[in-house]
Amino acid sequence: MKKVAIFASGNGSNFQAITDAVHNQKLHIHISCVICDRPGAFVLERAKKENIPVFLINPKSYPSKIAYESAILEKLQAFQIDFIALAGYMRLIGPTILNSYERKIVNIHPSLLPAFPGLDAIGQSLKAGVKETGVTIHYVDEGMDTGQVIAQQTVEIAEGETKESLQKKIQVIEHQLYPETLEKLLNS
């Protein structure tokens, strides 16, 4: 069974979806640890409730990105991590981690990449007036949401859609698509 680290910065709803899929035997991985970069992020509570080791590694405590990522890499190596799933992790991954986990890091993004990369993809899609957006799961490379697409699913944008209503629709898809895609990637 693959040992997976989940990186998250916020609420952790995708972390919870992955954890639930493991409990329901729809995803056959071992969630070995959670790496979080933000004190007070709710994902920390979610992980503790699941008895999953959590490492709060605050980048402000390190003199450089290399030092920060070296501290993360040390934890990943200590837990013999095979694969990394980003679940709302709001930082670009640098060469320190990328070089050690080439094509072994995936991310989930709330748009149909390459459209609307980066922050506030939902707001970007609404502002652009497009009729559909979606969810993308992709490999992580050195760019911002530029890695090879693994899976995508569209979400219709209804007339009068709000950011909150669209986010709820997207999260329903995310919480199904991410565990399914991880299962295919890691156990096929």
State the catalytic residues.
Answer: 109
Rounded to 5°, the CA angle 169-174-180 comes to 140
Residues forming beta bridges with residue 133, ordered by sequence position: 155
Tokens of 167: 């986010």
Closest CA to 19 of 30, 10, 11, 9: 30
Residue 148 and residue 138 in contact, taking contact as beta carbons nearer than 8 Å: yes
The H or E element containing residue 3 is strand 2-8
Give the integer Cα–Cα distance in Å for 125 and 7: 25
Locate the DSSP E strands across 80-143: 83-86, 105-109, 132-139
Residue with tokens 């329903």: 172
Q: In sequence order, which residues have a C-beta less than 8 Å from that of residue 27 and are 6 or more positions away? A: 18, 21, 179, 182, 183
CB count in 10 Å sphere of residue 107: 23
